[in-house]
Structures are given as structure tokens and as C-alpha cells.
Structure 1
């Protein structure tokens, strides 16, 4: 395994850690609410909108970890399958994961929408550039 492949795997593990971290944080917020009776199971069984605001913010962020990151994971899978990691793709992947952490932090704390959007858009831009590079490298170089 090359150094680029190892670094890409570490980047992927960091994204997975973020997703799991948000999930565990969500559990830490929600479990006490149900155990104390503050939130009734019947009220949330079919409607996620009945959770308190902070819990809903974190849940929305957890759901968000299965949107853009899916494209990131697909690119990683392709790179590892063909055993080739373009340098620009790798840099964009690292930047993308960093923006996901920033986005998650904003989303789960202050939830300032404009700041969150800037982090999201930066990640989207990096992901797009990475994918363009990946396509060019795999179609024209390999």
C-alpha cells in the first residue's frame, strides 16, 4: 500500500469517526430525555420533529453525514480499487473532511446557518474539484 493510499484511508477513518462521534453525541442527548420522561416514546415514534431543538440539530447533522460524504466514500473506493490516488484528489479529500468537522461543529452548537453554509460549500467545492481530478486522472492518465 502506498503512502497516498494510507493517507486516504486515514482521512476516511476520520470521516467515519466524525459520523460515529455525532451519533454517540446524539445518543447522549436523547437517551436521558426519554429516560426522564421529558420526551415520550409515543411522541417520537413516527415524528422526529418532537425532539427538543438541540437534539434535532444534532440529528439533522447525523443525517447530513450520509449526503455529501457518500460521494467522498465512492471516490475513495474507486481510488483503492484501482490502486491509484491522485495527489489533488487526496488534498481535496483531506480538505473535505476538515470542512465536515467544521460544518458538524457549527451545526451541533450555534447552528449559525450562514457559517454552516460556508463550511458546507467549501466542502462541496473541494469534493467537486477532487472528483474532476479523479475523472481526468483515471480517464486520461491510466
Structure 2
């Protein structure tokens, strides 16, 4: 495995760790609410809008980890399938995952929408550039 492949693997593990981290945080918020009877299971069985705001906020972030990151994971899978990781893509992948951490932090704490949007948009731009680089590099190399 090349050095770039190892770095991309670490970056990917960081994104997975973020997703699990948000999920465990969500569980830490929600489980006590159900155990204390503050939230009734019947009220949330088919509609998650009955959770308190903070819990819903973190849940929204968890759901968000399956939006743009899906495109990231697809690009990573392509890199490993062809055993080639372009340098620019690697830098964009690192920046993308870093932006996801910033986005998640904002979303799960202050939830300042404009700041959250800037982090999201930065990740979108980096992911787009990464994909463009990947496509061009693969067309030139393969």
C-alpha cells in the first residue's frame, strides 16, 4: 500500500469516527430522556419531531453524515479499486473531512446557521475539486 493510500485510509477512518462520535453523542442525549419518561417511545416511533430541540439538532447532524460524505466514500472506493490516489484529491479529502468536523461541531453546539453553512460549503467545494481532480487524473493515468 502506498503512502498516499495509507493517508487516505486514515482520513476515511477519521470521517467514520466522526459519524460514530455523533451517533454515540445522540444516544447519550436520547437514552436518558426515554429512561426518565420525558419522551414516550410511542411519540417517536414513527415521527422523530417529538424529540427536544437539542436531540433533534444532533440527529439532523447524524443524518447529514450520510449526504455529502457518501460522495466522499465513493471517490475513496474508486481510488482503492484502481490503486491510485492523486495528490490534489488527497489534500481535498483531508480538507473535506476537516470541514465535516467543523460543521458537526457547529451543528451540535451553537448551531449558528451561517457559520455551519460556511463549513458545509467549504466541504462541498473541496469535495467537488477533489472529484474533478480524480476524474481528470484517472482519465490521464488509466
Same fold (TM over 0.5): yes
Runs of 4+ in 1 over 6 A off after TM superposition: none
- 2:41 & 2:11 partners in 1: Cα distance? 37
Cross-structure match for 2:5: 5
What are the superposed Cα offsets for residues 85-120 of structure 1, whole Å, 9 maximum, x if unpaired? Answer: 000000000000000000000000000000000000
- 1:125 & 1:85 partners in 2: Cα distance? 19
Q: Which runs of 5+ in 2 are unaligned?
A: none
- 1:106 & 1:67 partners in 2: Cα distance? 17
- 2:16 & 2:123 partners in 1: Cα distance? 16
Q: CA RMSD in A?
A: 0.4
Q: How does 1:1-142 map to 2 (within 5 A)?
A: 1-142=1-142
The normalised TM-score by structure 1 is: 0.99
User: How many residues get paired?
Assistant: 142
Displacement, 1:141?
2.6
- 2:87 & 2:140 partners in 1: Cα distance? 15
What are the superposed Cα offsets for residues 49-94 of structure 1, whole Å, 9 maximum, x if unpaired? Answer: 0000000000000000000000000000000110000000000000
- 2:88 & 2:71 partners in 1: Cα distance? 16
- 1:109 & 1:40 partners in 2: Cα distance? 25
The normalised TM-score by structure 2 is: 0.99
Q: Which runs of 5+ in 1 are unaligned?
A: none
Displacement, 1:2?
0.2
